[in-house]
Chain A
Amino acid sequence: MKCLICHDEWMPPISFAMLFTLRQADVCCPRCRARFIRLEGNRCERCSRLSDVPICADCIKWKQRKSALKQNYSVYIYDDWMKEVMNRFKFRGDYALVEAFRHDVCAVFNEHFSSDVFLVPIPLSPSRLAERGFNQAEAIASLLSLPMIFALRRIDDEKQSKKTRSERFVGRKFCLTGEDVAEKRIVIVDDIYTTGATVHEAANVLYAAGARDISSFTLIRS
């Protein structure tokens, strides 16, 4: 079969586990697979970043600001390989690449969250959505087969990745769509957690609408 990422032909080994259970062969070749690096080892217990102290300096600041976000979990580290893959997935719009994340996304999610939560993907602005054709956060959330609530709408139109750190913290990004989130356990889903400004603000907006127990889950922690 063809590797989903490098398009080279490769032969997945056939095992009895695949014949008798629902286990699927990997969609990408071993060489591409080995280049995805999962976050492991000592990490900040709140935001998943690699850290020697239990709670990193950024998270202490978030705590002082009384952020409603309890915790963030992420799957992969952000390196050159991940940049390249995200560039193809998000900016070139190769939706099919989401399948390469499936196994790891499900494994990390199930390790940290129970199945009685509701997923809230971070929305794109209408103009960006029309340009890209899909919302990458929603694509990632759809791997988890859990109920989604589209509770947020984007006000601000600028790309987060085009802004500096300080610019990311000013101005409101989201408003509510009116979907009911009251008293629900929420996991916000996004593609990347960089400064955390996006998910923390989303958490505060959802908290104001009555949501309880808000965490977030992102594909990458940079």
Chain B
Amino acid sequence: MHFAGKQLLTSELSFPYDKQHVQIVDSIIKTKRGYMCVRCNNDDQQLFASFPCARCGRICTYCRKCITMGRCSECNPLVIWTGPTPSISFSSPLQWNGQLSPAQQLASDEVCHAIDRNESLLVWAVCGAGKTEVLFAGIDMALSQGKRVCLAAPRTDVVLELAPRLANVFPSVDIAALYGGSQDRGKLASLTVSTTHQLLRYYRAFDVMIVDEVDAFPYSVDSMLSYAVERARKPNSSLIYLTATPNEQWQREVKSGQRKAVTIPARYHRHPLPVPTFEWCGNWQKKWRHKRLPSCVVRWVNEHLERNKQAFLFVPHIDFLQQVVPYLQQFHPRIEGVHAEDPKRKEKVLAFRRGQIPLLVTTTILERGVTVPNIDVAVLGAEQPIFTESALVQIAGRVGRSAQYPTGDVRFFHFGKTKAMVSAKRHIIRMNDEARKRGLIDK
């Protein structure tokens, strides 16, 4: 295990290290507002606890927020590496002969530019635009310059999908994939793919920090993860954000020119994004108390079963999902439901991909990353607060992703339009308009 570029708890340091190049700081400090965790920036007093500690013999306070990464407590200080981090340079390690679309090429050039000058950049690309390919040239250049690159993703699934893809196109480069329980833990590689949690172990280690799906849960709700990103990158480094759905504040900053951004408003297959249609369905929650669904929803389900077209139905809560699935199974016995804690989640998604499930009812977990050709989507209860603008744009982005089936139907069943629904629709229309103006779609 190498110590360079890390910040570790004293209890994690079972190996000898160079004491000259470290700084030891308290991991839990007291501020005017109470306790604060130096590693994860937690200052929510409900997420601190105290216990009679056998190590220090006192009542010791610890942080419960980042405890999965080892316990930060008053008697367990952080040891931070302040020495140099070794650097290795590769000569043009990229082995890829794919072709970028004109919009991707433009974004790719901007990424290279930002990496070269250690600037920050937002890559705002619609769902299915091919964001990963846009990074290849930039990563290639950084590695040639001997820079250390980190790609941070919000969830383990994404890390597991990205790491082999990068290993494929950068065959000569040492790559570490970091997530809870990973074998690469403690490695400092030239190219690191990491969940944002695992970044808590790094300190000023990376010259290029790329954050994938910035808007995705839990990054957007969790200030801890943006703090981790800031601590893990070098003070003089570039920061690239990738997203399909920047939040309102970022969109404003982009508009006013405060934030540097490049957009990819169209998909690689040159068809416009499907625009959602709104359909009022009355007080569906009240109807459900009498075990009835709104007639327009029932019609939508029947239509899809008759036409044999697969679809996702998004619902707001797990509790409702678990009630509605047995009800819908009366329509067709193979209808299934899937939610975040479902142990059979992977199997069900796979069965859906194979076409064995006609309709998959789901909570917002499937809003990203799942690509199935030729499907429709509907949201039941689109007015619920869980369906934010970005969630709705992502949901709409499930449709028409393959070049073979570039169109589809996106329906929001609602009991009163919300601001989020309207902004989501406007967001998609604006992207299509921009794409048309730039000649990125045929029509």
A22 partner residues in chain B, CB cutoff 8 A:
none
How distant is B106 from chain A, measured CB to nearest CB, in Å?
42
Task: Give residues in A with beta carbon < 8 Å to B.
Answer: 1-2, 7, 88, 92-96, 129-135, 139
A94 partner residues in chain B, CB cutoff 8 A:
49, 64, 67, 71
B67 touches A88 (CB 8 A): yes
Q: Does B258 contact A (CB under 8 A)?
A: no
Q: Does B53 contact A (CB under 8 A)?
A: yes
A96 touches B54 (CB 8 A): no
Contact of B53 among A1, A7, A133 (CB under 8 A): A133
Task: Give residues in B with beta carbon < 8 Å to A.
Answer: 11, 46-47, 49, 51-55, 60, 62, 64, 67-68, 70-71, 73
B53 touches A134 (CB 8 A): yes
**Nearest CB to that of A130 among chain B residues?**
B55
> What is the CA–CA distance of A124 and B71 in the complex, to the nearest angstrom?
19
B54 touches A130 (CB 8 A): yes
Contact of B46 among A1, A88, A129, A135 (CB under 8 A): A1
> What is the CA–CA distance of A94 and B70 in the complex, to the nearest angstrom?
10
Q: List 11 A-B contacts (CB under 8 A).
A: A2-B46, A7-B47, A88-B67, A88-B68, A93-B71, A130-B54, A130-B55, A133-B53, A133-B54, A133-B60, A134-B52
**Nearest CB to that of B73 among chain A residues?**
A133
How distant is B64 from chain A, measured CB to nearest CB, in Å?
6
> What is the CA–CA distance of A133 and B73 in the complex, to the nearest angstrom?
10
> What is the CA–CA distance of A132 and B52 in the complex, to the nearest angstrom?
11
How distant is A154 from chain B, measured CB to nearest CB, in Å?
13
Contact of A133 among B46, B47, B55, B64 (CB under 8 A): B55
How distant is A100 from chain B, measured CB to nearest CB, in Å?
12
> What is the CA–CA distance of A88 and B180 in the complex, to the nearest angstrom?
13
A129 touches B64 (CB 8 A): no
Contacts A92-B67, A133-B54 known; 8 new A-B pairs at CB < 8 A? A2-B47, A93-B71, A94-B64, A130-B54, A131-B11, A133-B71, A133-B73, A135-B54
A132 partner residues in chain B, CB cutoff 8 A:
54
A134 touches B47 (CB 8 A): no
B54 touches A129 (CB 8 A): yes
**Nearest CB to that of B53 among chain A residues?**
A133
**Nearest CB to that of B51 among chain A residues?**
A95
Contact of B49 among A95, A130, A133 (CB under 8 A): A95
How distant is A127 from chain B, measured CB to nearest CB, in Å?
11
> What is the CA–CA distance of A129 and B53 in the complex, to the nearest angstrom?
9
B67 partner residues in chain A, CB cutoff 8 A:
88, 92-94
How distant is A129 from chain B, measured CB to nearest CB, in Å?
5
How distant is B93 from chain A, measured CB to nearest CB, in Å?
38
How distant is B45 from chain A, measured CB to nearest CB, in Å?
10
B54 touches A92 (CB 8 A): no
> What is the CA–CA distance of A133 and B60 in the complex, to the nearest angstrom?
9
How distant is A119 from chain B, measured CB to nearest CB, in Å?
16
How distant is B28 from chain A, measured CB to nearest CB, in Å?
13
How distant is A81 from chain B, measured CB to nearest CB, in Å?
10
B64 partner residues in chain A, CB cutoff 8 A:
94, 96
**Nearest CB to that of B343 among chain A residues?**
A80
> What is the CA–CA distance of A134 and B55 in the complex, to the nearest angstrom?
8
How distant is A62 from chain B, measured CB to nearest CB, in Å?
32
**Nearest CB to that of B70 among chain A residues?**
A92
**Nearest CB to that of B68 among chain A residues?**
A92
> What is the CA–CA distance of A111 and B55 in the complex, to the nearest angstrom?
35
A96 touches B51 (CB 8 A): yes
> What is the CA–CA distance of A7 and B68 in the complex, to the nearest angstrom?
14
**Nearest CB to that of B52 among chain A residues?**
A134
B68 partner residues in chain A, CB cutoff 8 A:
88, 92
